[in-house]
Chain A
Amino acid sequence: MYVSPVREPLISGEKSYSKVTEDIYAPMTGKPGKLWFGGLTLALIALGFGLFSIFITVWDGIGTWGLDRTIGWGWGITNFVWWVGIGHAGTFISAILLLFRQKWRTSINRSAEAMTIFAVMCAGLFPLIHMGRLPLGFFIFPYPNTRDVWVNFNSPLLWDVFAISTYLTVSLLFWYMGLIPDIGTIRDRLVPGLKKKIYSFLSFGWTGSARHWARHESMSLILAGLAAPLVLSVHTIVSFDFATSVIPGWHTTIFPPYFVSGAVFSGFAMVLTLMIITRKAINLEDYITKAHLESMNKIIIATGSIVGIAYITELFIAWYSGVVYEQYAFVNRAFGPYWWAYWIMMTCNVITPQLFWFKKIRRSFLATFIISIFVNIGMWFERFVIIVTSLHRDFLPSSWSMYSPTWVEVGIYIGTFGLFFTLFFLFIRFFPVIAIAEVKSVLKTSTEKFIKKGK
């Protein structure tokens, strides 16, 4: 395949196929460094605190949270939407960028997909525990029962059950199917022993047969074709949780694509946060280069700008509609008791990504890392602003109230970081962080210097 010489190489340094295997396998060998142990320990501590907070929630009840009339949803749902949103980047990179034939995805798709699975697991925690009577949680699934009732298929909350379950399942399948050839590579590096037996089992007997590869590509393409609308549908259905209501600031038709854009926006920011550290920590700087950085940052400007335009649209149409409640909702957001949350959101989401119009910033690892953190903070506040400001002051002023989280809610949120990073640290230790076979397939045309072996 001919690639224009004007294009920037995606992989730097001198690489042969075996060097690629060696580079990506290296972090899985030997003893893990102090940084890894340190990080894992911190993550486990956070997870432990989170588990304790969940225990308090289930044992003592939802009363230990700050929810009250009229704010029935607070940190719980904010965190749910935040984590689900982050998960969207993995599927976007795997599926949508595959459909658009973007070769640069091969260095980041594996870890982005893993991030998706971990993020969705963190997200799924919240609908479960916010139900209160957790042992009866299975009620949300449609199964024939002696109570002679079925679930309410017309509730967006139930659509969420189907959407998140399907999303978790399909993401897991997509991630694992992609991993199989790479696990085969790892299996073949190992000396006979327990580790080899385990990876052999996990590799499903992968041989590298051309027929299997052909089927694998065909399957991946169609899974990508399925996953693309799926990822759109999941955050759309999450947005329906709000938009199908009549609450000012919630009921607005732009929510579905606006939420999806915001999800990809925050997801890419998280991928960047993780990858910028990981590439340095496990010596994969040749594979995750400024070319990748720039492409990801372009997606951040694009999706961030779409979010910004959605904000402006909502403001304008609120005025245009002439509906006093709608107009007040936005005035309250900007100047009411939660004004600080609104302005953090605006600064982080609208202004910071626009910095990526400048090439120097777009191609700077440090600047990108800082901006990526701000984006994720901004997106957290966006969900907080939407949820809390619309609920704390809606139609009837005599019902207006305030909300603040309790330590239990904060503890659960910290716990999700613990869960996420525990899984992530385990992932980078026991699985190849970069898609070995996929990188090899673009190596010839996209590396700085390809070491050709053979004749």
Chain B
Amino acid sequence: MQQKAFVSGYYLDDKDLVEGIKALQEKNIEIADVRTPFPVHGLDKVLKMRRSNLPKAGFFAGAMGTAIGFGFQAWVFTEAWPLNFGGKPFLSVPSFIPVTFELTVLFAAFALVFGFLIRSGLGPGAPNIIFDEEVTNDRFQILLEVKSGNSDQLQLDLKSVGAEGVQHHDV
């Protein structure tokens, strides 16, 4: 297992965090991660995050749900177990709508939730490291990865852009 190390610093206000990030970017310092107690407005733009593919996954899963829902009912009612109820046609489209709709939603929801968890590496017993337990309280943290022993330099950089509590972490 490769030994990793990180340097962290934090801010106590989300606007200060965004300023700090911009300052680091101007110095061409690569930011490993930013951790906040709540989603910060504008952070995705500043960090140039790519748009998530979750919506697409949800759409396709939902479409699958529609096809399976309608197709399965159609098969059951025309091939496997046709029932005459009230003289209605075996391929009774209007009455297939409710179950089709529910399965669409169910499939899409599963795709979104499991997509989110898997993509983000979250799950029961996930081995994610919490560097600072106050992040989930009120600290806005920046993480820089130490490469070729430049920890001291990174610590100075963070202090220079106004971060507090600058620390080194060995993983």
A and B touch in the complex (CB under 8 A): yes
Cβ A166 vs Cβ B34 within 8 A: no
Which residues in A have their C-beta under 8 angstroms from that of B77?
153-154
- Cβ-defined partner of B113 (8 Å) among A156, A173, A184: A173
Question: Distance in Å from the Cβ of A149 to the closest Cβ of chain B?
Answer: 6
Q: How distant is the Cα of A202 from the Cα of B55 in the complex, in angstroms? A: 25
Which residues in B have their C-beta under 8 angstroms from that of A170?
105-106, 109
Cβ A210 vs Cβ B54 within 8 A: no
Cβ B136 vs Cβ A185 within 8 A: yes
Which residues in A have their C-beta under 8 angstroms from that of B105?
166, 170, 226, 229-230, 233
- Cβ-defined partner of B106 (8 Å) among A142, A169, A184: A169
Known: A173-B109, A210-B43, A216-B116. A153 touches B95 (CB 8 A): yes
Which residues in B have their C-beta under 8 angstroms from that of A166?
102-103, 105-106
Chain A residue at minimum C-beta to C-beta distance from B131 = A207
- Cβ-defined partner of A150 (8 Å) among B58, B76, B103: B76
What 1/0 mask marks residues of chain B from 22 to 41 whose CB sits below 8 Å from any chain A CB?
00000000000111111111
- The interface size bin for chain A is 35 or more
Which residues in B have their C-beta under 8 angstroms from that of A155?
85
Cβ A213 vs Cβ B52 within 8 A: no
Question: Distance in Å from the Cβ of B150 to the closest Cβ of chain A?
Answer: 23
Which A127-165 residues sit within 8 Å CB-CB of chain B? 142, 148-150, 152-156, 158-159, 162-163, 165
- Cβ-defined partner of A214 (8 Å) among B13, B52, B112, B124: B52
Which residues in A have their C-beta under 8 angstroms from that of B41?
1
Question: Distance in Å from the Cβ of B17 to the closest Cβ of chain A?
Answer: 9
- Cβ-defined partner of A21 (8 Å) among B43, B62, B115, B137: B137
Which residues in B have their C-beta under 8 angstroms from that of A1?
41
Cβ B12 vs Cβ A453 within 8 A: yes
Chain B residue at minimum C-beta to C-beta distance from A169 = B106
Cβ B116 vs Cβ A219 within 8 A: yes
Q: Is B149 part of the contact surface with A, judged by Cβ < 8 Å? A: no
Cβ A154 vs Cβ B88 within 8 A: yes
- Cβ-defined partner of B47 (8 Å) among A158, A173, A202, A210: A210
Question: Distance in Å from the Cβ of B116 to the closest Cβ of chain A?
Answer: 4
Cβ B102 vs Cβ A163 within 8 A: yes
Q: How distant is the Cα of A78 from the Cα of B62 in the complex, in angstroms? A: 33
Known: A185-B137, A222-B112. A213 touches B81 (CB 8 A): no
Q: Please, how many residues of chain B have a CB less than 8 angstroms from a CB on the other chain?
A: 69
Q: How distant is the Cα of A207 from the Cα of B72 in the complex, in angstroms? A: 41
Which residues in A have their C-beta under 8 angstroms from that of B127?
205
Q: Is B101 part of the contact surface with A, judged by Cβ < 8 Å? A: yes
Known: A153-B76, A206-B122. A18 touches B138 (CB 8 A): yes
Cβ A188 vs Cβ B137 within 8 A: yes
Q: How distant is the Cα of A53 from the Cα of B153 in the complex, in angstroms? A: 71
Cβ B12 vs Cβ A208 within 8 A: no
Cβ B138 vs Cβ A233 within 8 A: no
Cβ A154 vs Cβ B83 within 8 A: yes
What 1/0 mask marks residues of chain B from 61 to 78 whose CB sits below 8 Å from any chain A CB?
010000000001100110
Q: How distant is the Cα of A189 from the Cα of B137 in the complex, in angstroms? A: 8
Q: Is A211 part of the contact surface with B, judged by Cβ < 8 Å? A: yes
Cβ B138 vs Cβ A204 within 8 A: no
Question: Distance in Å from the Cβ of A325 to the closest Cβ of chain B?
Answer: 19
Chain A residue at minimum C-beta to C-beta distance from B73 = A153
What 1/0 mask marks residues of chain B from 96 to 131 whose CB sits below 8 Å from any chain A CB?
101101110110111011011101111111111110
Which residues in A have their C-beta under 8 angstroms from that of B124?
201-202, 204
Cβ B108 vs Cβ A453 within 8 A: no
Q: How distant is the Cα of A16 from the Cα of B128 in the complex, in angstroms? A: 27
Q: Is B6 part of the contact surface with A, judged by Cβ < 8 Å? A: no
Chain A residue at minimum C-beta to C-beta distance from B125 = A201
Which residues in A have their C-beta under 8 angstroms from that of B52?
214-215, 218-219
Which A1-52 residues sit within 8 Å CB-CB of chain B? 1, 16-18, 21
Chain B residue at minimum C-beta to C-beta distance from A440 = B38
Cβ B58 vs Cβ A16 within 8 A: no
Q: How distant is the Cα of A209 from the Cα of B102 in the complex, in angstroms? A: 33
Q: How distant is the Cα of A86 from the Cα of B17 in the complex, in angstroms? A: 42
Q: Is B1 part of the contact surface with A, judged by Cβ < 8 Å? A: no
Question: Distance in Å from the Cβ of A180 to the closest Cβ of chain B?
Answer: 7
Q: How distant is the Cα of A433 from the Cα of B121 in the complex, in angstroms? A: 26
Which residues in B have their C-beta under 8 angstroms from that of A181?
38, 136
Which residues in B have their C-beta under 8 angstroms from that of A201?
124-125
What 1/0 mask marks residues of chain A from 436 to 455 whose CB sits below 8 Å from any chain B CB?
01101100000000001111
Q: Is A293 part of the contact surface with B, judged by Cβ < 8 Å? A: no
Cβ A188 vs Cβ B33 within 8 A: no
Which residues in B have their C-beta under 8 angstroms from that of A334?
none
- Cβ-defined partner of B54 (8 Å) among A211, A215, A229, A455: A215
- Cβ-defined partner of B130 (8 Å) among A149, A188, A210, A229: A188
Which residues in A have their C-beta under 8 angstroms from that of B138?
16-18, 21, 440, 453
Given A205-B123, A217-B39, output 17 extra A-B contacts at Cβ < 8 Å.
A17-B37, A149-B81, A153-B99, A154-B85, A154-B92, A189-B133, A204-B122, A207-B135, A210-B33, A210-B47, A213-B40, A219-B113, A222-B112, A226-B112, A230-B105, A237-B98, A454-B16
13 sampled A-B residue pairs with Cβ under 8 A = A155-B85, A159-B98, A166-B102, A177-B116, A181-B136, A205-B127, A206-B136, A207-B135, A208-B136, A211-B49, A212-B120, A213-B39, A215-B119
Chain A contacts to B: CB under 8 angstroms: 1, 16-18, 21, 142, 148-150, 152-156, 158-159, 162-163, 165-166, 169-170, 173-174, 177, 180-181, 184-185, 187-189, 201-202, 204-219, 222-223, 226, 229-230, 233, 237, 240, 437-438, 440-441, 452-455
Q: Closest 6 CB pairs between A and B?
A: A205-B126, A17-B138, A454-B12, A454-B13, A205-B128, A188-B133
